[in-house]
Amino acid sequence: MPPESPAAKPSKFYFYYGHRKPSQNRPTVRGGLFSNRQSQKHPVNRNSSNPLDFKAQKIDNPTSFILQNWDPEQKNSPKIPLRTSKSNTSSEDFFQICQKLTPIARYICDSFRKHKKWGPPVIDDLGKLRRITPNLVAEVLKVQNDPVLSSRFFHWAGKQKGYKHDFASYNAFTYCLNRSNQFRAADQVPELMHMQGKPPTEKQFEILIRMHADNNRGLRVFYVYEKMRKFGVKPRVFLYNRIMDALIKTGHLDLAMSVYHDLKEDGLMEESITFMILIKGLCKEGRMDEMFDLLGQMRVSLCKPDVFAYTAMIRVLVAEGNLDGCLKVWEEMGRDDVRVDATAYTTLITALCVGHRVEKAYELFKEMKEKGYLIDRVVYNALTEGFVVSGKVGSACDLLKDLIDSGYRPDLSIYNSLIKGLCDVNRVDKAYQLFQVTVKEGLQPDFETVNPILISYAESRKVDDFCSLLVQMEKLGLPIIDDLSRFFSCLVEKERLMVGLSIFADLKIKGYYTVPIYNILVGALYNYGQAKKALSLFSEMKDLNLEPDSSTYSLAIRCHVELEDIKEACFYYNKIREISCFPSVAAYHSLVKGLCKIGEIDAAILLVRDCLANVNNGPIEFKYTLTIVHICKLNDAVKVLDVLNEMIQQGCKPDDIAYCAVISGMCKHGTIEEARKVFLSMKDRELLTEANMIIYDEMLIDHMKKKTADLVVSGLKFFGLENKLKSKGCTLLSN
C-alpha cells in the first residue's frame, strides 16, 4: 500500500494545557486554548454538538475576546470622533491617527471613540487586556484631547497591581492636559509624581516652562520656576535663559532680573545669550543705565558684543521709538571698535528718517558711501521720504540722481514721494513730468501717484488739466470712480471742502459724478453745520436721476432732524426700510433724539428697539434706555436712579432719550410721583436744569393723558361701545 500523501494527512489542532507560571501581575493562569489554527480540509463545525469541540465553541463565544480578531473598521462600529470634546474629527480621521499606533493602543483608542466617556463599558474593554504598560499609556495619551477621559485612564492605569508610571507616561499626560488648555492641572503633575514616589526631574519642569512660554504665560513660567526651586531642582543655564526670555517677552523684566540673580547665586556662568536676553529687555523698558552696566559685565566676564548683538539692541530700541538710545548704542559700538556692517547702517538710517532726523541719517549714509558698502534701495527710499517730509525736496531730487548714478532703478514709492514733495512746493509741472516717467518705465502708477497732482490742479482751478489727467488715468486702467471718491475724501480730511465743491461743480458738467461722491460731500457739509446746503446737494441727486443708497438717506435723516423737520426725517427712514436696508447708527440716534424732543416717546422707544435688533454695535445709550423702561416695572425711583448712575459711570451722560425712557416706563408701569422723584433727584445733583425739569414734567403729564385715553378707547372697543361714542361725538359736533 503506497504511503499516504502529506495533503491527505489531517490537520492537527494545537491545544496547550497546564498551568502557566504565576507572576505578580497575573498570579494564577489556567491552561487552555492559545491558538486558533484550523484545518483547511476539515474545518471546525461551529454548530457541532460533539463535546470534544467545546474549545472550538469557546472561540466563537461572543463574550470571549481575542485581540487578533478585533477589527476597528467594522461596519457596526459607531462613527464617533476620537477627539470627543474639542474636535469634529471624523471617523476616517480616527483611523488615520491610529495608523501609527500599536494594535493594543488602537484598541484602547477605539474604545474611547465608541463610548465617548469613562464608564463601565470602557473599563470592561480595558479588563480584556492582560496588562497595561507605561509605554502603552504614553502612546494612548499622545493622541487624546479629552482631559477628563485621559485623566481617568491615567489614574486607572496607575491602580494596576505592580504598575508604576514612568517619565514617558507622566510627560504624555502633561502634554495631553496642556493641549486641552488645562495648563493649571498640568502644573500639578510634579506634585503627583512626588506623591507616587517618582520625584520630578528638570525635564518635567522644562516641559511645563516651554508650554507656558509658547503661549505667552509669563507669570505661569515664574510659578513653575518657583515650584522647581522648592523641589530642589536647579536649572541649567539653557533653562534659565528660557525662563528669563519668557518673562521679558511678557513684560515682567523685574522677575527676569530676580531669576538672573538666582543664576548667579547657583554659581552658574552666564552665556552670551543670557546677557543679550537681559540687555534687550532693558532696552525695551528704556533702562539704559542698567543696560550699559550689564554690557560692561559682559565684556569683563565673557566677551565684547559683536555687530549682531549691537544691531539687535538697535532694533529693539527702534521698535520702542527710542532714537536717543539708538545713538548711544551706536557710540558704544564705536568705542568697542566693532566694524559696523551694512545691516546696522540700514536699520539706524531707516529709524532716523522715520523719527524726522534726516540730517543725522544722511551723515550715516555718507559714511556708508565712504566705506564702500553696497547701499540697499531701502536706504534711498527712507532718505527720500525723510527729505520730502522735512520740506527739502531739492535734496530728495539730488538723492534720486545719486540713486540712478549708482545703477539702481527707482521704484514707484520713491517717485510717489518726490511727486508729493514737488506738489507741496507748487512745482506741479515737475511732478507731472515724473508721472510721465513712471508711465514710460512701466511702473504702473496708482492713486498715490496721481492724487497730489489732482489736488494741485483742483486748488489752482486747472479744470482742463484735471480732466485730461483723468482721461490718462482711465487709459492706464485705473478705477476712476473709486479714485475720485478717495480724492474727495482726501480733500475733506485736509479741510478743503470748498475746493472740493468748486471742482465738483466743474466735473458735473463733464459727467464725473457718482452717489459715493455726493455722500462724501453731503456728509462733510453736515459736519460743518451746513445742513441746508447738504440737502440742496441731496435734491440735486434726484434731478440727475441718481438712486440714493442707505448712506445718502441716513445723511438726509440727520440733516432734517437738525432742521427740526422730523416728519421728513421719518419719511426717509421709511424709504431706507423699503429698500431692505437699515440706517446708520448716527441716523438712528439723531432720529430718536428728534422724536423725543417733539414728545413722540412711543415712536422713539420703538426705534431704539429696532436699532438694537438690526445693528451690530448699537449705542450704549440705547441699551440703557431699554434697561430704564424695564426697571420702571418695579415703580421704584431709587432703582431707576441706580441705572442712571451706572450710565454716568460709563461716561454716558443722561439726555433727552434717557429721560423720555423714564417717562415711558413710569407711564406704562409706574406712577407720575416716582417719575417726578427721579427728575427732582437729577435736578438736585445739577444734572438737570430747572427749565428742562419743567419741560419733562409737562411731557410726563401729556404722555400719561395719552396712555389713559388709549386705555379708555381700548375698553370701549372691548365692550362694543365704540359706535355709540362716535355717534355721540357727531351729535355734539352738530349742536
**Residue 540 dihedral angles phi and psi, to the nearest 5°:** -65, -35
| pLDDT recorded at residue 84 | 39
DSSP states along 448-471: HHHHHHHHHHHHTT-HHHHHHHHH
CA–CA distances in Å: residue 596 to residues 421, 563, 565, 606, 628: 51, 15, 13, 12, 15
In a domain, 674, yes or no: yes
pLDDT of 26 > 80? The answer is: no
Determine the Cα–Cα distance for residues 186 and 212; give it in Å rounded to an integer: 11
pLDDT in tens, 587-616: 999 999 999 999 899 999 999 999 999 888
pLDDT in tens, 194-229: 898 889 999 999 999 999 999 999 999 999 999 999
DSSP label at 375? -
Determine the Cα–Cα distance for residues 293 and 287; give it in Å rounded to an integer: 10
DSSP states along 59-128: HT-TTS--GGG--TT-TTS----SSTTT----HHHHHHHHTTS-HHHHHHHHHHHHH-S-SHHHHHHHHT
| pLDDT recorded at residue 708 | 79
In a domain, 638, yes or no: yes
Determine the Cα–Cα distance for residues 722 and 712; give it in Å rounded to an integer: 10
- Measured in whole angstroms, how far is the alpha carbon of residue 448 from the centre of its chain? 30
- First-residue to last-residue Cα distance in the chain: 144
| pLDDT recorded at residue 106 | 83
pLDDT of 586 > 90? The answer is: yes
Question: Which class for 579: exposed (0-12), middle (13-18), buried (19 or more C-beta within 10 A)?
Answer: exposed
CA–CA distances in Å: residue 133 to residues 100, 106, 126: 18, 14, 12
Task: Determine contact, residues 161/24, Cβ cutoff 8 Å.
Answer: yes
In a domain, 697, yes or no: yes
In the 3-class helix/strand/coil scheme, how is 685-727 assigned residue by residue?
A: CCCCCHHHHHHHHHHHHHHHHHHHHHHHHHHHHHCCCHHHHHH
In a domain, 698, yes or no: yes
Which whole number is the average pLDDT over 446-465?
92
pLDDT of 675 > 60? The answer is: yes
In a domain, 664, yes or no: yes
Q: Look at the chain and report how many structural domains it folds into.
A: 1
| pLDDT recorded at residue 725 | 56
In a domain, 681, yes or no: yes
**Residue 477 dihedral angles phi and psi, to the nearest 5°:** 85, 15
In a domain, 186, yes or no: no
pLDDT in tens, 699-712: 999 888 887 777 76
| pLDDT recorded at residue 79 | 39
| pLDDT recorded at residue 530 | 92
The pTM of the full predicted model, rounded to 2 decimals, is 0.69
| pLDDT recorded at residue 408 | 84
- Greatest alpha-carbon pair distance for the chain in Å reads 144
| pLDDT recorded at residue 119 | 87
Sequence-distant (≥ 6) Cβ neighbours of residue 454 within 8 angstroms:
466, 469, 487
β-bridge mates for residue 20, sequence order: 29
Sequence-distant (≥ 6) Cβ neighbours of residue 492 within 8 angstroms:
500, 520, 521, 524
pLDDT of 124 > 90? The answer is: no
Question: Which class for 35: exposed (0-12), middle (13-18), buried (19 or more C-beta within 10 A)?
Answer: exposed
**pLDDT tier for residue 96 given thresholds of 50, 70 and 90:** low
| pLDDT recorded at residue 709 | 79
| pLDDT recorded at residue 660 | 92
pLDDT of 247 > 50? The answer is: yes
Provide the domain limits for residue 655: 632-734
pLDDT of 24 > 50? The answer is: yes
The average confidence (pLDDT) of the chain is 83
pLDDT in tens, 379-389: 999 999 999 99
- Core vs surface per residue 524-543: b (16+ CB within 10 A) or e: bbbeeebbebbbebbeebee
pLDDT in tens, 28-79: 444 433 333 343 334 444 444 433 333 333 333 444 445 455 555 554 444 3
Determine the Cα–Cα distance for residues 180 and 86; give it in Å rounded to an integer: 8
Q: What is the crossing angle of helices 412-424 and 393-405, to 10°?
A: 150
In a domain, 712, yes or no: yes
**Residue 685 dihedral angles phi and psi, to the nearest 5°:** -90, 5
pLDDT in tens, 347-365: 999 999 999 999 999 999 9
pLDDT of 157 > 90? The answer is: no
Task: Determine contact, residues 524/492, Cβ cutoff 8 Å.
Answer: yes
Q: Determine the 3-state secondary structure of 15 from DSSP.
A: coil
| pLDDT recorded at residue 36 | 39
Determine the Cα–Cα distance for residues 237 and 277; give it in Å rounded to an integer: 12
| pLDDT recorded at residue 522 | 93
And the C-alpha cell for 33? Answer: 486554548
CA–CA distances in Å: residue 629 to residues 210, 609, 663: 53, 11, 9
**pLDDT tier for residue 82 given thresholds of 50, 70 and 90:** very low
Least confident of 52-61, 103-112, 535-544, 688-697: 52-61
pLDDT of 721 > 70? The answer is: no
